[in-house]
Amino acid sequence: RGAGAMWGALRGVRRPPAALRRGLAKAAGPRSTRQLREAEEAAPIFQYVGKSAKRKDRVFVWGFCYSGALGVPSFVKPDVGWKKPRRIQPTPYRLETEEKISSAACGYGFTLLSSNTRDITKVWGMGLNKDSQLGFQRSRRDRAKGYEYVLEPSPIPLPLEKPQQTRVLQVSCGRAHSLILTDSEGVFTMGNNSYGQCGRKVVEDETYSESHLIHQLKEFDSRVVQVVCGQDHSLFRTKKGAVYACGWGADGQTGLGHYDITSVPTKLHGDIAGVNIIQVSSYGDCCLAVSDEGDVFGWGNSEYLQLASVTETTQVNVPRHLPFKIGKIKEAACGGTGNIVLTEEGNVFVWGYGILGKGPNLIETAVPEMIPPSLFGWSDFNPDIRVAHVRCGLSHFAALTNRGELFVWGKNLRGCLGTGRMEDHYFPWRVTVPGEVVDVACGVDHMVSMVKSFT
């Protein structure tokens, strides 16, 4: 009757035939609050992640791409027509890996990634391979030849006795050689051996490229727990707290009391004899060691005032104790021209030459200078931020806080800092990484970081 009345009111309008007239249908108007609430309750609930979802482990890389050290082939050889070769990756880029990477190391133009797994493939390498520092990478086009540049993470075949039981603990890379530490089968070395840095006798006129030779080192006083590569020398730290060295010694970086090359790992004495060393570090030609009591010892190149606090000479070939009164030292890292240490209280000290991190006015210092914690995000609002780890590349530094933030500073060589800007940073600058940074490895012109996702 309501519809009929409506149609009756519209005089002069032709009424539609009875079949087309709607019944007492209500006009659609704005929905009332009750309708809205009911619609909301009836809406489906989406679940994106479950209650016990684990945080994912990721690897991020950035820096110079043309050497292939970043492990992304499309940066060097684009796979699609519209992509252009990328010379520098200025911000962190995610690298897809098959396994969880537990240790990474950046050398001079190449990278090694290793996983803690028991599978057959434990170590992957990418980048420069002209001295077989990544082992023999068989070329797919010619089965007899090897690749000179490896553009994506390729497995490195290790001559293990028990490949399905041994685990790889740590990897380290130098200028043209690399060291792989396993838990039960000693240390494997590959790459250039012209100075004996691989721990085997120097063979004259040996061609290192496309070489299948991987040397195994087992003769130490106890199990090796840390391996470190300097530019052309290798350092091994054993469980008993002793340090062994081999390789080039012209700057005294082997610390054995002479300036010749050593081709067999030999134990160091000097001020560290009898001291329980808990960490060793080197990247250029200077070396630092930290003892369990918080003392730091140094040897090697001192042209940039790295060891000027104890001696005026520019080369030190015996480990010397560095008497710094800055507190108990937890961790040390050596770069090409600058050194950095982290104390138990969480303070960061730098010394040496170059961009040290205290503004453009501080270029060189022989005595450690502290970097104010406010530059790492410490403030009255966040009083419990501490630096947890320090790392060093050839001319830049990196610091990791306990909140998982990464700070970098130093010379921005080919975008190695990863901040997105091409200029050098004279004080610590945050790197925006989509995750919590667990560890970082610094190279000459690239960096690799192991990151845990947020959720």
Partner 1 sequence: LNAAPGRAPRERVRFLPAPDGGDGGVTGLVAVKVPVLADHPLVRGPRLRRLKIGAGHRLDVKASGVFVLGIGHGNKLLTDLYNCHLTKVYTVGGLFGKATDDFSDTGKLVEKTTFDHITREKLERILAVIQGTNHKALLMYSNIDMKTQEAYELAVKGLIRPMGKSPPIITAVRCLQFALPEFQLEIHCLHETQQYLRKIVHEIGLELKSSAVCTQVRRIRDGVFTLDDALLRTQWNLQSIQNAIRDCQLKVKTELERTLG
Applying CB under 8 A, which of residues 16, 78, 159, 359 lies at the interface with partner 1? 359
DSSP H or E stretch at residue 19: none
**Cβ distance to partner 1 smaller for residue 41 or 204:** 41
CB 299 within 8 A of CB 252: yes
Q: Cβ of residue 374: shortest distance to partner 1, in angstroms?
A: 6
Applying CB under 8 A, which of residues 52, 143, 204, 325 lies at the interface with partner 1? 52
| Rounded Cα gap, residues 426 and 416, in angstroms | 14
Applying CB under 8 A, which of residues 76, 225, 310, 375 lies at the interface with partner 1? 375
Annotate 122-131 with b (16+ C-beta within 10 A) or e (fewer): bbbbbbbbbb
Q: Cβ of residue 72: shortest distance to partner 1, in angstroms?
A: 24
Site for partner 1 in 210-249 (CB under 8 A): none
Query: Residue 66 corresponds to which amino acid?
Result: Y
| Rounded Cα gap, residues 181 and 220, in angstroms | 13
CB 378 within 8 A of CB 402: no
Binding segment for partner 1 among 242-250, 254-262, 274-282, 398-406 (CB under 8 A)?
398-406
How would you list the strands of the sheet with 177-182, edge to edge?
Answer: 168-173, 177-182, 187-191, 215-217
Binding segment for partner 1 among 234-242, 258-266, 321-329, 400-408 (CB under 8 A)?
400-408
Task: Examine residue 51 and tell whether it contacts partner 1 (CB under 8 A).
Answer: yes
Q: Cβ of residue 353: shortest distance to partner 1, in angstroms?
A: 18
Residue 143 DSSP class: T
| Rounded Cα gap, residues 343 and 329, in angstroms | 4
Task: Examine residue 46 and tell whether it contacts partner 1 (CB under 8 A).
Answer: yes
Task: Examine residue 292 and tell whether it contacts partner 1 (CB under 8 A).
Answer: no
Binding segment for partner 1 among 51-59, 96-104, 169-177, 442-450 (CB under 8 A)?
51-59
Task: Examine residue 436 and tell whether it contacts partner 1 (CB under 8 A).
Answer: yes
Task: Examine residue 360 and tell whether it contacts partner 1 (CB under 8 A).
Answer: yes
**Cβ distance to partner 1 smaller for residue 33 or 207:** 33
Applying CB under 8 A, which of residues 15, 21, 35, 53 lies at the interface with partner 1? 53
**Cβ distance to partner 1 smaller for residue 159 or 372:** 372
Tell me which residue of 243, 127, 251, 262 sits closest to 193, measured CA to CA: 262
| Rounded Cα gap, residues 363 and 254, in angstroms | 27
Phi/psi at 73 (5° precision): -60, -30
Residue 294 DSSP class: S
Report residue 264 as tokens: 């067999």
Please provide the DSSP assignment of 57-101 as one string.
EEEEEEEE-TTSTT--HHHHS-SSTT----SEEEEEEEE--SS-E
Task: Examine residue 454 and tell whether it contacts partner 1 (CB under 8 A).
Answer: yes
Task: Examine residue 404 and tell whether it contacts partner 1 (CB under 8 A).
Answer: yes
Q: Cβ of residue 51: shortest distance to partner 1, in angstroms?
A: 5
DSSP H or E stretch at residue 36: helix 33-42
Q: Cβ of residue 313: shortest distance to partner 1, in angstroms?
A: 32
| Rounded Cα gap, residues 232 and 176, in angstroms | 8
| Rounded Cα gap, residues 342 and 286, in angstroms | 17
Binding segment for partner 1 among 145-153, 188-196, 339-347, 376-384 (CB under 8 A)?
376-384
Binding segment for partner 1 among 115-123, 177-185, 210-218, 355-363 (CB under 8 A)?
355-363
Q: What SS3 state is found at 20?
A: helix
Binding segment for partner 1 among 4-12, 162-170, 369-377, 390-398 (CB under 8 A)?
369-377
Please provide the DSSP assignment of 354-383 as one string.
S--SS-TT--EEEEEEEEPGGGGT--SSST
Applying CB under 8 A, which of residues 45, 164, 205, 325 lies at the interface with partner 1? 45
Task: Examine residue 57 and tell whether it contacts partner 1 (CB under 8 A).
Answer: no
Task: Examine residue 32 and tell whether it contacts partner 1 (CB under 8 A).
Answer: no
Applying CB under 8 A, which of residues 8, 44, 274, 383 lies at the interface with partner 1? 44
Q: Which residues bind partner 1 (CB under 8 A)?
A: 39-40, 43-53, 358-361, 372, 374-375, 377, 379, 381-382, 403-405, 423-427, 429-430, 432, 434, 436, 454-455
